[in-house]
Amino acid sequence: MEKSGPVQRTVVLKPFIKLVKLLARAFYDDYTTKSDNQQKSARIDNRGIAVVVLDALTRRQWVREEDLAKELQLHAKQLRKIIRHFEEQKLIMRDHRKETAKGAKMYSVAVAATTDGRAEDKVKLHTHSYCCLDYPQIYDIVRIKVHRIKKKLKDELEDNNTVQEYVCPNCQRKYNALDALRLISMEDDSFHCENCNGELVVECNKLTSEELVDGDDNARRRRREKLKDMLQKMEVQLKPLMDQINRVKDLPVPEFGSLQAWEARATIAARENGELGPNDPLRSQGGYGSTPMPFLGETKVEVNLGEGKEDVKSKGGDSSLKVLPPWMIREGMNLTGEQRGEVRQEAKFEGGSGEASKLSDDKKSSMGNGDEKDLKDEYLKAYYAELLKQQELAAKLNQQESMAEVTPETQLATTSSDRQLGMKSKREEEDEEDVEWEEEAPASANGNYKVDLNVEAEASGGEEEEDDVDWEEG
Amino acid sequence: MFFHIVLERNMQLHPRFFGRNLRENLVSKLMKDVEGTCSGRHGFVVAITGIESVGKGLIRDGTGFVTFPVKYQCVVFRPFKGEILEAVVTLVNKMGFFAEAGPVQIFVSKHLIPDDMEFQAGDMPNYTTSDGSVKIQKECEVRLKIIGTRVDATEIFCVGTIKDDFLGVINDPAAA
């Protein structure tokens, strides 16, 4: 459960843990789970419990609340209350999941088989809650908390931009200065309540309410002094926290992601390390149900969803249509491009592997390379090496070759015609590309092909001229 | 803050105004209806500066009234939070004072008046500094900053402060 190794990669957790610990001691030191009226009767003082919980959470990642309660020897309800408080404070991520306790399920099935009634409530899924510290959010929360405290104190110190509030002593109804126009009465120059016509009094600031009785000068001065004092004290007391915030500022924030994502990552990491036995704590914590079910299909499915996606995709392209080895390709076979192994290369382009750049660099050699990798046949390697030489020599005559390929006689020409065919299919596309990219290539070619292209070129040229004329006219 | 904007309004005109002066009648009625009103959205309409267009009139069944859609240019005044205004004090009491900046009423509560100014009750209630050099009373002009606005559908009310640099009394006709 406390395995932080596999999930943590480069981010350093330490400073953030320290931040959380400081935060806990600064703001949640005197947090009690008891409400005020209970506290008088409560004999045990459980202040500081929140600090204990937060500290425990810094040593864990996602944890089931029941487990945490057990380890902290707290009552589950008590812990849940604290955790809910922290959730409201946005320090903690929570996740609730309905899970079957497998044993209970089987038991309930058995019960249903033997007796007719009362089976339904036994099948009930148990909701388990998980929680985890939300470090990125904690960082923001701490900062805004401190900022808000400072701003409140400063504003009150300077009485800045505060709309004065008034309260009716009789009916406790509250007004503010924006209501002033409605509240002035004709008889005297004070504000009166709309309900009971009682005279309103200025509501004093909550922070220093006990001192400010009637807002006279003396009290105001004392209040200011107190505020100043508070501000100074705060600066001093929060200094370690602020220092830690500044230290953490430029560090990458540890992020565990949602429960599902975290589980997926943790399981994969564990599997890579070969650690995931059936009794592995990760499994028992992350999987469905408290009892480990190593042969349960569903857990595996969930895991595969997480990260294996890309692999599945790229392999799927291959497996859907098998690439025929070149020696199997005979003349007259009606093959798709995929079967000739063309897609395979595209997939590699998509994958962005190292050879992709090579492929784009020089087409001819890359063609050779790609095929070499596909075919493990030594003989073919030698053949391609030779072919490459030939190609380099006959680089200018590319077009002729392609023409020759089109004519039926060359298809039967060599003894290893079958293999050459496999090559040809690739060469054809290569030549097509040449035609597209280099307009000079067709010029060197001969035969009807060349004529076609020239005609096209001329036609296009003519069109251009016509376009020019049009423009001039327009 | 003042804005020059174009607004639109459907004007109902009585049949007796139909004639060669129809347009003038329409405009004068528009001015009478609109100028000085306040909408929460645009603020106070201070003045109509021009007519953009007068649409086709539509005769109402039964009454004979005709509805003209009129687009007009006008100057509106809309106070904003943080804006500095000059206002005339209208009422002083122990809770603070009220002031008017054109159509807008502004209340400055006591705690937003500088600490060294004391309330003096009497015939002419006022806030005065201890040395008596500055006095805020009815009719005097103050420069204040708006710190809060209440915008209703038909009225705008503001809360201001003079507890800041360069705010306070700018002219006192009573002292002059």
Q: Where are the domains of chain A?
A: 259-307, 316-438
Task: Answer with the residue of higher pLDDT: A61 or A296.
Answer: A61
In terms of CA atoms, which chain B residue is nearest residue A217? B115
Q: CB–CB of A204/A166 below 8 Å?
A: no
At residue A161 the predicted structure's pLDDT band, cuts being 50, 70 and 90, is low
Every domain range in chain B assigned CATH 2.40.50.140: 84-171
Task: Answer with the residue of higher pLDDT: A254 or A321.
Answer: A254
Q: CB–CB of B75/B63 below 8 Å?
A: no
In terms of CA atoms, which chain B residue is nearest residue A218? B115
Residue A383's pLDDT is: 76
Distance to chain A for B124, nearest Cα, Å: 12
Strands B66-77 and B43-54: antiparallel
Task: Answer with the residue of higher pLDDT: B104 or A99.
Answer: B104
Per CB-CB distance under 8 Å, the chain A contacts of B161 are 161
Every domain range in chain B assigned CATH 3.30.1490.120: 2-77
Q: Does the pLDDT value for residue A461 go beyond 50? A: no
Residue B140's pLDDT is: 93
Inter-chain contact B93–A184, Cβ cutoff 8 Å?
Answer: yes
Q: CB–CB of B73/B52 below 8 Å?
A: yes
Q: Spell out the residues 6+ positions from residue A46 whose beta carbon is closer than 8 angstroms to its own.
A: A32, A33, A34, A78
Name the least confident of A105-109, A306-310, A419-423: A306-310
Whether A178 has its CB under 8 Å from any CB of chain B: the answer is yes
Inter-chain contact B115–A217, Cβ cutoff 8 Å?
Answer: yes
Inter-chain contact A178–B93, Cβ cutoff 8 Å?
Answer: no
Inter-chain contact A178–B148, Cβ cutoff 8 Å?
Answer: yes
Task: Answer with the residue of higher pLDDT: A69 or A337.
Answer: A69
Start-end of H helices in A73-161: 76-88, 102-114, 120-123, 135-158
Q: Does the pLDDT value for residue A118 go beyond 90? A: no
> Using CB atoms, which residue from B91, B159, B163 is nearest to A177?
B159
At residue A116 the predicted structure's pLDDT band, cuts being 50, 70 and 90, is low
Q: Which long-range contacts (CB under 8 A, 24 or more apart) does A412-418 make?
A: A412/A331, A416/A383, A417/A331, A418/A326, A418/A327, A418/A329, A418/A330, A418/A331
Host H or E run for residue A224: helix A217-237
Host H or E run for residue A92: strand A92-99
A to B CB pairs, distance under 8 Å: 61
Inter-chain contact A184–B161, Cβ cutoff 8 Å?
Answer: no
Residue B92's pLDDT is: 92
Distance to chain B for A229, nearest Cα, Å: 20
Per CB-CB distance under 8 Å, the chain A contacts of B93 are 184, 189-190
Name the least confident of A368-377, A394-403, B15-24: A368-377
> Using CB atoms, which residue from A163, A181, A184 is nearest to B148?
A163
Distance to chain A for B69, nearest Cα, Å: 36
> Using CB atoms, which residue from B92, B107, B115 is nearest to A180?
B107
**Average of per-residue pLDDT across A278-287:** 42
**Average of per-residue pLDDT across A45-59:** 84
Interface probe, candidates A189, A191, A220, A227, chain B, greatest B C-beta count within 10 A = A189
Q: CB–CB of A265/A307 below 8 Å?
A: yes
Q: Tell me the pLDDT tens digit for each residue of B7-51.
A: 999 999 999 988 999 999 999 999 999 999 998 889 999 999 999
What residue has token string 């001093």?
A: A236
Name the least confident of A95-109, A227-241, A245-259, B72-86: A95-109
**Average of per-residue pLDDT across A132-150:** 88
Residue A100's pLDDT is: 64
Distance to chain B for A182, nearest Cα, Å: 11
**Average of per-residue pLDDT across A287-314:** 43
Q: Tell me the pLDDT tens digit for each residue of A204-233.
A: 655 544 444 455 567 777 877 888 888 888
Host H or E run for residue A64: strand A63-64
Grouping H, G, I as helix, E, B as strand and the rest as coil, residue A332 is coil
Strands A174-176 and A165-167: antiparallel
Residue B136's pLDDT is: 92
Task: Answer with the residue of higher pLDDT: A2 or A86.
Answer: A86
Per CB-CB distance under 8 Å, the chain B contacts of A180 are 95-96, 98, 107, 109, 157, 159
Per CB-CB distance under 8 Å, the chain B contacts of A181 are 98, 105, 107, 157
Inter-chain contact B110–A215, Cβ cutoff 8 Å?
Answer: yes
Instruction: Give me chain A's average pLDDT, please.
Output: 65
CATH code, residues B84-171? 2.40.50.140
Grouping H, G, I as helix, E, B as strand and the rest as coil, residue A127 is strand
Work out the percent of chain A whose per-residue pLDDT is above 90: 0
Residue A93's pLDDT is: 86
Per CB-CB distance under 8 Å, the chain B contacts of A184 are 91, 93, 95, 98
Residue A323's pLDDT is: 62
**Average of per-residue pLDDT across A65-94:** 87
Residue B30's pLDDT is: 94
Q: Tell me the pLDDT tens digit for each residue of B47-98.
A: 999 999 999 999 999 998 999 999 999 999 999 998 999 999 999 988 899 9
Inter-chain contact A189–B163, Cβ cutoff 8 Å?
Answer: no
Q: Tell me the pLDDT tens digit for each residue of B98-140.
A: 999 999 999 998 888 988 899 998 888 999 998 888 999 999 9
Q: Tell me the pLDDT tens digit for each residue of B133-154.
A: 899 999 999 999 999 999 888 8
Inter-chain contact A180–B147, Cβ cutoff 8 Å?
Answer: no
Q: Does the pLDDT value for residue A75 go beyond 90? A: no
Q: Tell me the pLDDT tens digit for each residue of A404-418.
A: 554 444 444 444 444
At residue A314 the predicted structure's pLDDT band, cuts being 50, 70 and 90, is very low
Query: Max Cα separation, chain A?
Result: 120
C-alpha B165: how far from chain center: 25
Residue A259's pLDDT is: 81
> In this structure, which CATH number among 3.40.605.10, 3.30.1280.10, 3.30.1490.120, 3.40.640.10 belongs to the domain B2-77?
3.30.1490.120
Q: State the SS3 of chain B.
A: CEEEEEEEEEEEECHHHCCCCHHHHHHHHHHHHHCCCEECCCEEEEEEEEEEEECCCEECCCCCCEEEEEEEEEEEECCCCCCEEEEEEEEEECCEEEEEECCEEEEEEHHHCCCCEEEECCCCCEEEECCCCCEECCCCEEEEEEEEEEECCCCEEEEEECCCCCCEEEECCCCC
Q: What token pair was written down for B132?
A: 């008596």
Distance to chain A for B4, nearest Cα, Å: 27
Whether A359 has its CB under 8 Å from any CB of chain B: the answer is no
> Using CB atoms, which residue from A163, A189, A220 is nearest to B159?
A163
Residue A377's pLDDT is: 65
